[in-house]
A and B are shown apart, each in its own frame.
Chain A
Amino acid sequence: MSQVTLNINGQTHTVDVPSDMPLLWALRDTLNLTGTKYSCGTGVCGTCTVLINGTPMRSCVMPAISMAGAEITTIEGLDPSGNHPVQRAWNDEDVPQCGYCQGGQILTASALLKQNPNPSDQDIDAAMAGVLCRCGTYSRIRKAIKRAAENAAREGGTS
Chain B
Amino acid sequence: MKISENQKSMNRRSFLKVSILASGALVIGIGCERPSSASTMEQRTWKPNLYVRINTDGTVTIVSKNPEAGQGVKTAFPMVVAECLNVDWKNVSVEQAPLDDRYGRQAIGGSRGTPDGWDDLRIAGTGARYLLTAAAASEWGVPVADCMAEKGAVIHKASGRSRRYESLLEIAATLPVPDVADLKLKSRPEEFELLGTFVPGVDNPKIITGQALFGCDIRLEGMLYAIYEKCPTYAGKVRKANVDQVRKLPGVTHAFVVDGGSDLRGLLPGVAVVAKTWWEAQSARKKLRVEWDTTHSDSTADYDRQAEVLRKEAGETLRTDGDVQRALDSASNVVEASYYYPFVSHANMEPQNCTAVYRESGRMELWAPSQNPKAGRQLISATMDIPEDRIHVNLARIGGGFGRRLRNDFMVEAAWIARETRQPVQLQWSREDDMRHDFYRPAAWHHFTAGVDKNGKMSAFDHHFVTFSKNGETVSGAGLSPDHYPAGLVPNFRLRQSLIETNVPTGPWRSPGHSAYCWAYQSFFDEVALAAERDQLEFRLDLLSRSYGKPPLDLERTSGTLKLAAEKAGWGRRALAANRGMGMAFHFDHGGFVSHVAEVVADGSRITVEKVYSAADVGPIINVSGARHQVEGAVTDALSTAQLEITFANGAATQSNFSDYSLLRINQAPEIECHFIQSDNSPTGLGEPPFAAATPAITNAIFAATGTRIRELPFSRSGVSAAPR
Contact = CB atoms under 8 A, between A and B. Distances in A.
B209 interface: yes
Contacts of A133: 349, 666
B665 interface: yes
Grouping DSSP codes into helix (H, G, I), strand (E, B) and loop, the A interface class, with mixed when no group exceeds half, is loop
A30 interface: yes
Contacts of A28: 278
B423 to A, nearest CB: 15
Interface string A101-141: 11100100000000000000100111011111111111111
A47 B349 contact: yes
A96 B251 CA distance: 36
A3 B542 CA distance: 73
B659 A44 contact: yes
A46 B140 CA distance: 61
A14 B428 CA distance: 26
Nearest to B353: A38
Interface stretch (B393-401, B466-474, B562-570): B393-401
Contacts of A134: 347-349, 400, 637, 640, 663
B675 interface: no
Given A98-B399, A139-B632, A91 B205 contact: yes
A79 B209 contact: yes
Interface in B172-201: 198-201
Q: Which of B72, B207, B350, B667 has the most CB of A within 10 A?
A: B207
Contacts of B633: 97, 135-137
Contacts of B629: 94, 97, 135, 137, 140
B725 interface: yes
A54 interface: no
Contacts of B666: 124-125, 128-129, 131, 133, 138, 141-142
Interface string B609-647: 000000000000000010001001111110010000000
A79 to B, nearest CB: 7
Contacts of A47: 349
A18 B400 CA distance: 31
A132 B204 contact: no
Given A20-B283, A40-B657, A98-B349, A129 B665 contact: yes
A137 B667 contact: no
B153 interface: no
B204 A18 contact: no
Given A35-B211, A44-B658, A121-B725, A98 B350 contact: yes
Given A18-B250, A34-B217, A132-B658, A87 B208 contact: yes
B658 A139 contact: no
Contact of A34 (B200, B212, B348): B212
Q: How large is the interface on A (under 10, 10 to 19, 20 to 34, 35 or more residues)?
A: 35 or more
Contacts of A80: 209
Contacts of A138: 636, 664, 666, 669
Given A32-B219, A38-B216, A92 B208 contact: no
Contacts of B232: none
Contacts of A125: 666-667, 724-725
A49 to B, nearest CB: 12
A124 to B, nearest CB: 8
A98 B400 contact: yes
Contacts of B664: 136, 138
B479 interface: no
B213 interface: yes
Contacts of B670: 139
A92 B625 CA distance: 10
A39 interface: yes
A76 interface: yes
B120 interface: no
Contacts of A140: 629, 632
A69 interface: no
B212 to A, nearest CB: 5
A3 B664 CA distance: 39
The B interface, classified by DSSP as helix, strand, loop or mixed, is loop
B430 interface: yes
Contacts of A87: 208-209
A32 B198 CA distance: 34
A99 B637 contact: no
Given A132-B349, A135-B633, A139-B671, A97 B70 contact: yes
A99 B210 contact: no
Interface in B355-414: 397-401
Contacts of B213: 99
B431 interface: yes
B438 to A, nearest CB: 13
Interface string A19-42: 011100100111011111111111
B204 A135 contact: no
Contacts of B588: none
B209 A91 contact: no
A29 B223 CA distance: 10
Given A40-B658, A91-B208, A29 B398 contact: no
Contacts of A121: 725
Contact of A136 (B250, B401, B431, B669): B669
A75 B398 CA distance: 19
B279 A21 contact: yes
A1 B250 contact: yes
Contacts of A102: 207-208
A134 B250 CA distance: 35
A125 B349 CA distance: 20
Nearest to B219: A32
Nearest to B279: A25
B200 A94 contact: yes
Nearest to A87: B208
Given A40-B657, A76-B209, A100-B399, A132 B430 contact: no
B658 A45 contact: yes
Contacts of A75: 208-210
Contacts of B658: 39-40, 42, 44-45, 132
A141 B670 CA distance: 12
B482 to A, nearest CB: 33
Contacts of B211: 35, 76
Nearest to B435: A40
B552 interface: no
Interface in B652-677: 657-659, 663-667, 669-672
B275 to A, nearest CB: 10
A96 B204 contact: yes
A137 B207 CA distance: 14
Contacts of B198: 94
B201 A96 contact: yes
Nearest to B251: A18
23 contacts: A25-B279, A29-B277, A32-B219, A39-B349, A41-B431, A44-B659, A45-B349, A74-B210, A90-B204, A97-B72, A98-B350, A98-B400, A98-B401, A99-B214, A100-B214, A102-B208, A125-B725, A128-B666, A135-B70, A137-B633, A138-B664, A140-B629, A140-B632
Listed from nearest, the 6 A-B pairs whose CB atoms lie closest are: A35-B210, A136-B636, A98-B70, A100-B399, A75-B210, A97-B70
Interface of A: 1, 18, 20-22, 25, 28-30, 32-42, 44-45, 47, 74-76, 78-82, 87, 90-92, 94, 96-103, 106, 121, 124-126, 128-142
Given A75-B208, A126-B667, A136-B669, 10 more contacts: A1-B250, A25-B279, A40-B659, A100-B214, A100-B400, A102-B207, A130-B665, A135-B637, A136-B640, A139-B636
